[in-house]
């Protein structure tokens, strides 16, 4: 693979890119990508599924992010943490964090599932009953859908207040 010369001399302005040069560059770039990963013509035609007729991969990605945001943002406003949002949207927690950031939400301990700024008092009686049955904090946290450390700290704080 050779490099296409764009400049004749660095003191002269570059040649305009013609359609032929663009085709050569695209073909050389495609040749360096394994065949199963190359862009297929089918990826560039309108689709009738959830993408609502978008035509390019970038538009499809934007449509997918909009769909994810429509799922994630109401759940976030309801107080769900990032791992639960990722599970509901069927995407990674990193994608959820990026979508939240796009919508002006700064991830903090309360959004990623931390103990701070969350009220776990509603779970304390159930957690204490499970603890009396001999269950571990990890099992209790898993059963209640809460971080192990968060529920154990909430129970310890409840006991300290008594």
Q: Does pLDDT of 103 surpass 60? A: yes
- Prediction pTM value: 0.38
Specify the range with the lowest mean pLDDT, choosing from 38-52, 96-110, 148-162.
38-52
Q: Is 128 exposed, middle or buried (0-12, 13-18, 19+ CB in 10 A)?
A: middle
Residue 25 pLDDT: 75
Residue among 71, 73, 72, 48 nearest 60 (CA) = 48
**What would the mean pLDDT of 94-110 be, rounded to a whole number?**
80
Q: Is 101 exposed, middle or buried (0-12, 13-18, 19+ CB in 10 A)?
A: exposed
Q: Rounded to whole angstroms, what are the CA distances from 13 to 4, 5, 9, 72, 85?
A: 16, 13, 8, 49, 51
Residue 146 pLDDT: 83
- In this structure, the dihedral spanned by the alpha carbons of residues 35, 36, 37 and 38, taken in order and rounded to 10 degrees, is 50
Pairwise pLDDT comparison (134 vs 114), residue with the higher score: 134
The owner of tokens 């107080």 is 79
- Give me the chain's average pLDDT, please: 75
DSSP state of 34: -
Cβ 83 vs Cβ 113: under 8 Å: yes
């Amino acid at each position: 693979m050779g490099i296409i010369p764009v400049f004749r001399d660095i003191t002269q302005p570059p040649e305009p890119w013609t359609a032929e040069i663009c085709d050569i560059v695209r073909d050389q770039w495609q040749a360096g990508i394994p065949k199963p990963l190359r862009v297929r013509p089918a990826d560039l035609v309108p689709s009738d599924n959830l993408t609502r007729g978008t035509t390019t991969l970038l538009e499809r990605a934007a449509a997918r992010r909009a769909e994810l945001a429509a799922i994630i943002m109401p759940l976030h406003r309801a107080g769900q943490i990032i791992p639960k949002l990722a599970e509901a949207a069927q995407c990674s927690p990193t994608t959820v964090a990026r979508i939240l950031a796009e919508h002006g939400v700064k991830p903090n301990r309360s959004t990623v599932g931390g103990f701070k700024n969350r009220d776990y008092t509603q779970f304390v009686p159930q957690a204490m009953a499970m603890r009396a049955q001999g269950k571990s904090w990890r099992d209790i946290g898993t059963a209640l859908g809460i971080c192990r450390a968060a529920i154990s700290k909430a129970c310890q704080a409840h006991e300290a207040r008594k």
